[in-house]
Amino acid sequence: MVDDEVEVVVALGSELGEGPVWDDRIGRLVWVDILGRRVHTTDAVTGETASLETPLHVGAVAAREAGGFVAALQDGFWILDDGPARRVTTIPESRPGLRFNDGKCDPAGRFWAGTMAYDVSPGAGSLYRLDADGRATLVLPGVTISNGLAWSADGLTMFYIDTPTGRIDAFDFDAGSGAVANRRTVVEIARSDGRPDGLTIDEAGGLWVALAHGGTVRRYIEGREDRVIHLPVSLVTSVTFGGPDRDILFITSAWEHMTREERAREPLAGAVFQARPGVRGRPADVYRGV
């Protein structure tokens, strides 16, 4: 059963549904199945979904001002548009045992995405920034599962999750250069609540976090939890606001590493859900580069 406040948008049974972002250009939800190598665009009313296959595992995408999408594929940053997928840059640490995970654009139009090891080796990942000229810069090395990103409305703070830390950290953010500094913890999440994964922010500054292995999305304001949304699946992966009024919270999920018995108990694992929590999110930023 699905909680009264949660509805199913589309149930494709994605192995690792992730990275939802609302695309105002087409009025659809864009999201990925990382291991299925698919970028999906979904009509939030009908659930009708179109899919694009990617050459490699796809960690995240964002709308591109010049058309199409910028994507973090397994080995680096790519452009996905009307023509063949084309690589912008390969990250220096690219290797078979590593892949990109979550990503998002900042208010200045740069695309950020981080890596992780397939075997989740501690400290094997990094967080990168893709500038408008297509140059990738290593911003934060030594992370394990690079995950959720969000920026405050004034653009002065960047929020970030490295999942195994169990925290949401904040950085001072320089919008002009894209530099970050003064890392500190703003939210600590109990292990019993789950593992922090994808992240978004609402107009009031509330941080909404998908808690994998916790079956919930939780809102934190000034470091304190003040809202919990329960899902009928345990592997809740990411969240974003969308819809014409940006008042719908879209939630992705997965069944990666689940046994046959566990999947039978959670038939909606891998579906996309929506809720209307009574607050609005910020418009999704787009990539203003190559």
List the catalytic residues: 197
Closest CA to 64 of 13, 130, 161, 142: 130
Are the C-beta atoms of 44 and 9 separated by less than 8 Å? Answer: yes
Contacts of 250 (CB under 8 A, 6+ apart): 9, 20, 22, 29, 31, 44, 239, 240, 241, 242, 272, 273, 274
Phi, psi of 261 (to 5 degrees): -65, -40
Where is 260: in which H helix or E strand? helix 260-265
Are the C-beta atoms of 245 and 280 separated by less than 8 Å? Answer: yes
Length of the chain measured in residues = 290
d(CA 183, CA 160): 10
Q: How far is CA 162 from the centre of its chain?
A: 12
Buried b (16+ CB within 10 A) or exposed e, 1-25: eeeeebeebbebbbbbbbbbbbbee
Phi, psi of 107 (to 5 degrees): -60, -20
Closest CA to 16 of 55, 69, 57: 57
d(CA 279, CA 247): 6
Q: Which amino acid is at 18?
A: E
Mapped onto helix, strand or coil, the DSSP state of residue 142 is: strand
Q: Which amino acid is at 269?
A: A
